[in-house]
Amino acid sequence: MAYVKNLFEENFIQYASYVIRDRAIPELEDGLKPVQRRILHTLIENDDGRFSKVANVQGKVMAYHPHGDSSIYTALVNLANKEIFIEKQGNFGNLYTGHEASAARYIECRLKPITKDILYNPKITTFVPNYDGREKEPLTFRAKLPLVLIMGAEGIAVGMRTYILSHNIHEVIEAERKCLKGEKFQLYPDFPTGGLIDVSDYQDGLGKIITRAKMDTSDEKKIVITELPYGSTTETLTNSIEKAVKAGKVKIASIQDFTASEVNIELKLPRGVYTKDVVDALYAFTDCEQTVYCDLLVIKDNMPVRMTCTQIIEHHSKQLVGILKDELEVEKTELFEKLHMRTLERIFIEERIYKKIETMKTAEDVVKAVKKGFVPFKEELLRPVSDEDVDTLLKIPIRRISLYDINKNRQEVKAINDRLKEINKLLKHLVEYAISWLDAIEKKVDAATTKRKTKITNINTVDVKTVVKRDMSFKYDEKSGYLGTGVNSGEELMKVTPYDRVLFVRKSGIFSVTESPNKVFVGPGLRYCGLADKESLSKVLFTVIYKDPETQFIYIKKCKITAYIMNRDYFFAPDGMEVLHVDTRKNFTFTVNYVPKPRVKILTEKFKTDGFEEKSLKAKGVRVVAKEVESITVN
């Protein structure tokens, strides 16, 4: 049994780790999930500048992604709709209406040139074998921008979730630029569907935002929704409005959706209803206003970590400097080797070292002869001559030797030296170089498609209770004993809303507080029913007369209900007592009928309630008279 338990625990941990790291949570370094990384890697590897069928790309990505083509198709469409890395051709769906993209065989895509600038440099990227060992794929891209903030992400793993909102690429670049300069910066979300957002509680990516649809209310008899709140489509939005209309929460005569390349939902109002009367109700009862909670969870150093937007920008600023340094170092090494070979070629040809190998009989003698020929020129060499250098020199064709241009060689050497000086200068000023790189990449970003679409504003959320009208009939049927908004017969007690809390007192003296019930059985002889909000209860003074069955004495208690728990039964009197009467009048009189006994001449007596003091709900009542009481009559 212990073995089975350990087996399950071990396998579950492996499964949870796999889902967290390899499926649901994006990597901090490049902001991508594995399927997105594999799509971009495939597009980079097969990029020839022409469009390719998405179905063809799907098949090639499957060499790296072992989870089927449907997940690849969905991820590719979503990635293309981010409008950053992939150029689209064909129907990739509609972000506004929610209509899906065409089948993979009908749509095409190709890589945008900016992708390689941001993501790709195979000389400094770590590659690992794919799932079957036949191919190599990047462990992560060395991304020069914090894509996790630019694109956003959402995913549910085992025991954790991530919900990262997208941000404007220009604002992210500006934040990274300020971070490198040591200046303060602040980032807020931006969505492709536009709309309005309140970021007062965004908490740097770990709080929440309130998002609203943008409405044209210039016509007092018509409302036009021109931009969608985040997370909505025109279909989900109109459905929520229709439900609110059917429930009687919003008064709208007709809903017409004219959305195409831009959002256009027209709401016409009925006679006697105007725009100012409907707007707040739309925000309160429909998806025109929504609250979105954020959770910025990423994979950092192979572990899930919760970070803020500021921390991610700071991390990527250092990462950008590190990547640029690595690229310069690699280029410097390559130029050094190129300069070394140009020097070897010049000496090899000018000093006719190649002539010394003509009499050599073996390959070893040839190598020795070449190396010996370079000995007098040791001071000119950048490093010792290796066997690989000799092999390269020996492969120079005779035609090239005979047509060797010393001036061209000198120009190449000068260009290499100039570039090496420039690299050395850049290595000493990496932060300035990183800022200039950000300036250059921002110019390559398509300004028309990447400008801010969502407007930041202050939103005062609409309290549903203040918008809804108290127009639902609340009835009590004495015959059936039912109470509520769904009771058709009986007496109407008051008008309520679905959000009102109602207090009702049964004949037994038991009282409860519930939200406006549709239909609840309270029995005959309802003592009291009213609203249970603080303002209403503060005005109600309950006078309760109860009897002790053992002593036959009666007690009176005046009290107010100041606190309660919903849907719980309370009793006005102590346990075992019999409640005779509950009243909410300020003062009244009642007649006490005593138990007939010998030598008792007075069998009835009247009392006024104004002589008794108010007590707490839990306090015991005051004994009215020290005589056995048979009954009471309230006047």
User: By three-state DSSP, how is residue 213 classified?
Assistant: coil
Q: Which two tokens stand for residue 393?
A: 């020199």
Torsion sign (Cα): 333, 337, 342, 346: positive
Q: Which two tokens stand for residue 417?
A: 């030296």
Angle between helices 309-350 and 387-394 (to 10 degrees): 60
CA distances from 558 to 437, 547, 610, 625 (A): 79, 15, 10, 16
Q: Do 161 and 297 form a contact (C-beta atoms < 8 A)?
A: yes
Q: Which two tokens stand for residue 298?
A: 């990423």
Q: Which of 135, 142, 151, 153 is nearest to 65 (CA)?
A: 135
Q: Which of 188, 145, 186 is nearest to 166 (CA)?
A: 188
CA-based end-to-end distance of the chain: 76
Torsion sign (Cα): 471, 476, 477, 481: positive
DSSP string computed for 621-635 = PEE--SS-EEEEEE-
15 catalytic? Reply is: no
User: Whose structure tokens read 């000799």?
Assistant: 390
DSSP state of 546: E
CA distances from 72 to 42, 210, 440, 561 (A): 12, 32, 32, 61
Residue 606 β-bridge partners: 591
Q: Give the active site residue among 106, 131, 274, 293.
A: 106
Q: How many CB atoms lie within 10 A of CB 128?
A: 9
Q: Do 42 and 53 form a contact (C-beta atoms < 8 A)?
A: no
Q: Which of 24, 22, 65 is nearest to 42 (CA)?
A: 65
Q: How many CB atoms lie within 10 A of CB 294?
A: 22
Q: Which of 616, 516, 526 is nearest to 567 (CA)?
A: 516
Q: Which of 633, 142, 227, 169 is nearest to 438 (CA)?
A: 169
Q: What dihedral angle (degrees, nearest 10) is formed by the CA atoms of 52, 54, 59, 62? A: 120
Burial class, 192, CB count within 10 angstroms (exposed 0-12 / middle 13-18 / buried 19+): middle
Q: Do 26 and 32 form a contact (C-beta atoms < 8 A)?
A: yes
Q: Which of 145, 201, 184 is nearest to 168 (CA)?
A: 145
Q: Can you tell me the distance from the alpha carbon of 626 to that of 613, in angstroms, rounded to the nearest whole number?
A: 19
DSSP string computed for 372-414 = HHTGGGGGG-SSPPPHHHHHHHHTS-HHHHHT--HHHHHHHHH
Which are the contacts of 100, defined by CB distance < 8 A and separation ≥ 6? 93
- Catalytic positions are 106
